[in-house]
Amino acid sequence: MWIFSILPKFLSIILLQLSMKQGDFRPYRSQFDIDVQVINEELIEKRKMEIEKKLKTGTTTVGLVCKDGVVLAADKRATMGLFVANKNAEKLHLIQSHVWMTIAGSVADAQYLIEILRAESNVFKLTSEKPMTAKAIATYLSRILNYYKGYFQVGLIIGGYGSEGPALFQLGAYGSIIPEKITAIGSGSPYAIGLLEAQWHENLTVDEGIKIAAAAVRSSIIRDVFTGNGIDVVAIRKDSYEQKFFGIETDPLTILNSPENKT
């Protein structure tokens, strides 16, 4: 029966929930747990500097809202200082089929947060019999980040499509949450945001947005040594999502502005 096929997954979610303290966002780690009460101003400033350094030395992630969906894009390069540690890094992550997240900063911190969001949104879906919205997931994540006061050295973008239409949020390491129409995070963001602002408009379609997002990341690859090795894109529509990959040889804007794409 179908019930037996979902039982292992359901039990794993319940066990994860039981391992977390009620009303808290921290998994139980006994003596290795973090006491946020002992965080002082000196430690906060140190963490701010660490976060700024991480976000300035690796990654370009972008997001934009279209009239029929949301588009997220990121490069494929992961760095450790000046060393290219990975040429095929995954920086676009599925939380639910209608909500995705981009990551910049510490990979380990981001992976931990991704698993928490997946588990919590699955539990919400099982108990409420409806999906958790992108806004609710982003708000939940912002509470975790604010609670830890910069412990997670990340810069994140959450995008999704729900009952209220397409939504896009930028989240900082201290829990700030900002709704956006266009956004970029990472070392290559100054180059990407300029192209996004020049090309974005209210009536942009997802098909156009895919090419603009890819072109924005490509502009960072050209100028930012910490960004490179290709471009991943995900487009989230009302009832589906689509993933694409672009190499850096062809400018996606050239495709967008070609005669066959003009009406």
The yes-or-no verdict on residue 30 having pLDDT over 90 is no
Q: How confident is the model at residue 263 (pLDDT cuts 50, 70, 90)?
A: very low
The total domain count for the chain is: 1
The yes-or-no verdict on residue 133 having pLDDT over 80 is yes
Q: What's the half-sphere exposure (Cβ side, CA atoms, 13 Å) at 243?
A: 11
Distance (Å) of CA 15 to CA 8, 119, 123, 137, 243: 11, 10, 11, 21, 32
What domain range is 155 assigned to? 41-261
Strands 78-80 and 83-86, by their bridges, are antiparallel
CB neighbour list of residue 240: distance below 8 Å, 6 or more residues apart: 97
- Specify if 221 maps to a domain: yes
pLDDT for 53 equals 59
Averaged pLDDT, 63-67: 97
Is this prediction's pTM over 0.75?
yes
Q: What is the DSSP letter of 143?
A: H
Query: DSSP H helical segments within the chain, as ranges?
Result: 2-18, 41-56, 107-128, 134-148, 189-199, 206-223, 252-256
Cα gap 149→131, rounded to integer Å: 28
Residue 14 tokens read as 């319940």
What is the chain's alpha carbon radius of gyration, rounded to the nearest angstrom? 19
Catalytic residue, candidates 59, 60, 133, 183: 59
The yes-or-no verdict on residue 249 having pLDDT over 90 is no
- Specify if 2 maps to a domain: no
- Specify if 73 maps to a domain: yes
The residue that leads in pLDDT, 152 or 250, is 152
Strands 92-96 and 231-236, by their bridges, are unpaired
The residue that leads in pLDDT, 23 or 253, is 253
Cα gap 9→55, rounded to integer Å: 35
- Specify if 248 maps to a domain: yes
Q: How confident is the model at residue 214 (pLDDT cuts 50, 70, 90)?
A: very high
Averaged pLDDT, 102-117: 94
CATH classification at residue 53: 3.60.20.10
- Specify if 4 maps to a domain: no
- Specify if 184 maps to a domain: yes
The yes-or-no verdict on residue 37 having pLDDT over 60 is no
59 tagged catalytic: yes
- Specify if 160 maps to a domain: yes
- Specify if 143 maps to a domain: yes
pLDDT for 41 equals 65
Averaged pLDDT, 219-234: 93
